[in-house]
């Protein structure tokens, strides 16, 4: 048995424009997948879990990581059907555990999952990347959504840029920016209206960062015993981007946030999905140091890099390009695996997936990816680069 991390790819299910057969040819052995059709808050049917597992296995792959079992807004706000949703979450964990799935990713980002302002930012060599530019998001926030208090959340400079940019767009451009931003909340659903979004934000008005922290602690207290009983390890995904947006609190953005979350319960089931692209937007976050600190609590890894631009903008760079140096991160993950092995931990192996990828080459001739950032060829390039990096590092470490 080799001492390498398992190589994984995300698969969005039968509707994904990338097939399992294609994933197999990338050399990945593990798939991260989820039952996206089940609404947040409902229990996943055991038969559907089995069926997904069989489909993945029939392609010669293994569904080792669930990404994600979403945490409902009721749980995040501690309101409405919170108790019923927690019960369903426990049921889902029990069923996943019974099916032999050991890692479940989740996030605690209120309302929206990850956010970008441009899905097709053209790089000089013709690849397309995802990008976030503060002024565009501010223009949406202040001029389209007209959120109360939005002006307080942006610097005078960004507000000015947003006002000019918004004016220059004209009516047609403004409508396009609004529609695109609403459709760009990939974690939510397409076709959201400004009023839908306002209603979703209103539910969080009373929560605030302290309230959200309390709800996360209550969530963990409610589901960890079920996760332990099922042999499932939970892995929280960091906020993307790692700062508050639309006045919503973000509580999983920094190294200190993650340390305090793993400190909430000593259980190994209370773990982390180490996403270098999300965490790497903050230049002060010492990623290899954080791998060492979180050590045994890292249950899955998303590997990607970003280029930080002036004024808080960033775009996703090639996996081995940009401002996030993945070499020391991969070295630290390999060391953590080795430590687990000497400890005799049966679950010592960590899996990683190339997180996102550029649209490039044949991606432009293929149907649009199931989710922005998930084209086949860009991710294949990322996986291949990371494979080489990991093997080179493992070889060097072995002397
Ligand atoms: C984006 C992903 C996120 C992630 C969830 C985990 O590409 O990394 O959507 O799956 O936040 O719950």
Q: Exposed/middle/buried for 266, CB within 10 Å: 0-12, 13-18, 19+? A: exposed
Q: What number of residues does the chain have?
A: 399
pLDDT value of position 183: 79
The answer to whether residue 387 scores a pLDDT higher than 90 is yes
User: DSSP assignment of 37-106, as one string?
Assistant: TSPTTSPPPHHHHHHHHHHHHHTT-EEEEEE--PPPHHHHHT-TTHHHHHHHHHHHHHHHHHTT--EEEE
Q: Report the run of H or E that residue 301 belongs to, with start and end.
A: strand 298-303
316 lines ligand 1 (CB under 6 A): no
Peptide bond into 382 cis (omega under 30): no
User: Is 16 marked active-site?
Assistant: no
Cα 273 versus chain centre, distance: 8
215, 356, 358, 363: the catalytic one is 356
68 lines ligand 1 (CB under 6 A): yes
pLDDT value of position 303: 98
Q: Which of 187, 216, 280, 352 to mutate to test the pocket of ligand 1 (most atoms within 8 A of CB)?
A: 187
In Å, how far are 150, 173, 250, 345 from 247, measured between CA atoms?
7, 25, 9, 42
304 lines ligand 1 (CB under 6 A): no
Q: Which of 16, 69, 103, 107 to mutate to test the pocket of ligand 1 (most atoms within 8 A of CB)?
A: 107
85, 143, 204, 237: the catalytic one is 237
Tell me the pLDDT band of 191, cut-offs 50, 70 and 90: confident
Q: Which whole number is the average pLDDT over 347-365?
A: 97
Q: Which whole number is the average pLDDT over 234-252?
A: 95
Distance 132 CA to ligand 1 centre (A): 16
pLDDT value of position 182: 85
CA separation for the pair 107, 326 (Å, rounded) = 23
Tell me the pLDDT band of 399, cut-offs 50, 70 and 90: confident
Task: Write the pLDDT tens digit of every residue in 143-169.
Answer: 999 999 999 999 999 999 999 999 999
Q: Exposed/middle/buried for 188, CB within 10 Å: 0-12, 13-18, 19+? A: middle
| pLDDT greater at residue 399 or residue 378 | 378
187 lines ligand 1 (CB under 6 A): yes
User: Is 82 marked active-site?
Assistant: no
Tell me the pLDDT band of 360, cut-offs 50, 70 and 90: very high
User: Is 356 marked active-site?
Assistant: yes
pLDDT value of position 189: 59
177 and 184 Cβ atoms separated by less than 8 Å = no
Question: What percentage of the chain exceeds 70 in pLDDT?
Answer: 98
pLDDT value of position 301: 98
Distance 114 CA to ligand 1 centre (A): 7
Task: Write the pLDDT tens digit of every residue in 9-42.
Answer: 999 999 999 999 999 999 999 999 999 999 999 9
pLDDT value of position 2: 87
CATH numbers and ranges of domains, the chain? 6-115+200-397 (3.20.20.150)
132, 275, 299, 358: the catalytic one is 275
What contacts 266, CB < 8 A, 6 or more positions away?
Answer: none
CA separation for the pair 132, 117 (Å, rounded) = 5
67 lines ligand 1 (CB under 6 A): yes
| Helix, strand, coil in percent for the chain, rounding step 5 | 45, 15, 35
- The strand pairing partners of 121, in sequence order, are 129
pLDDT value of position 370: 86
Q: How many CB atoms lie within 10 A of CB 209?
A: 12
Query: And the tokens for 145?
Result: 């959504």
Phi, psi angle pair for 62, to nearest 5°:
-130, 130
Task: Write the pLDDT tens digit of every residue in 216-241.
Answer: 999 999 999 999 999 999 999 999 99
Distance 33 CA to ligand 1 centre (A): 11
């Amino acid at each position: 048995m080799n001492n390498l991390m398992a190589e994984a790819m995300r698969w969005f299910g039968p509707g994904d424009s990338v097939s399992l057969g294609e994933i197999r040819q990338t050399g990945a052995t593990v798939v991260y997948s989820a039952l996206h059709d089940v609404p947040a808050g409902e229990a996943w049917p055991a038969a559907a879990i089995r069926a997904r597992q069989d489909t993945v296995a029939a392609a010669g792959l293994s569904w080792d990581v669930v990404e994600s079992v979403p945490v409902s807004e009721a749980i995040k706000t501690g309101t409405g059907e919170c108790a019923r949703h927690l019960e369903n979450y426990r049921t889902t964990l029990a069923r996943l555990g019974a099916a032999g799935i050991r890692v479940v990713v989740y996030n605690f980002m209120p309302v929206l999952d990850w956010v970008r302002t441009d899905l097709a930012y053209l790089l000089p060599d013709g690849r397309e990347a995802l990008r976030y530019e503060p002024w565009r998001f501010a223009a949406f926030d202040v001029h389209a959504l007209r959120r109360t208090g939005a002006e307080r959340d942006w610097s005078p400079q960004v507000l000015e840029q947003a006002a000019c940019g918004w004016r220059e767009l004209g009516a047609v451009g403004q409508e396009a920016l609004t529609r695109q931003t609403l459709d760009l909340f990939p974690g939510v659903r397409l076709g959201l209206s400004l009023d839908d979004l306002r209603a979703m934000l209103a539910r969080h008005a009373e929560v605030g960062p302290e309230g959200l922290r309390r709800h996360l602690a209550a969530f963990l207290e409610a589901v960890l015993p079920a996760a332990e009983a099922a042999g499932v390890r939970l892995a929280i995904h960091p906020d993307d981007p790692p700062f508050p947006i639309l006045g919503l609190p973000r509580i999983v953005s920094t190294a200190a946030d993650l340390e305090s979350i793993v400190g909430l319960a000593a259980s190994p089931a209370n773990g982390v999905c180490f996403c270098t692209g999300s965490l790497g937007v903050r230049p002060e976050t010492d990623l290899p140091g954080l791998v060492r600190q979180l050590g045994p609590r890292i249950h899955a890894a998303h590997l990607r890099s970003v280029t930080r631009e002036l004024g808080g903008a960033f775009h996703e760079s090639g996996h081995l390009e940009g401002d996030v140096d993945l070499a020391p991160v991969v070295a630290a993950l390999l060391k953590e695996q080795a430590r687990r092995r000497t400890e005799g931990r049966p679950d010592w192996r960590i899996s990683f997936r190339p997180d996102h990828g550029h649209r490039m080459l044949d991606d432009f001739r293929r149907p649009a990816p199931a989710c922005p950032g998930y084209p086949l060829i860009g991710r294949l390039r990322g996986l291949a680069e990371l494979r080489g990096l990991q093997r080179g590092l493992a070889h060097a470490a072995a002397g």
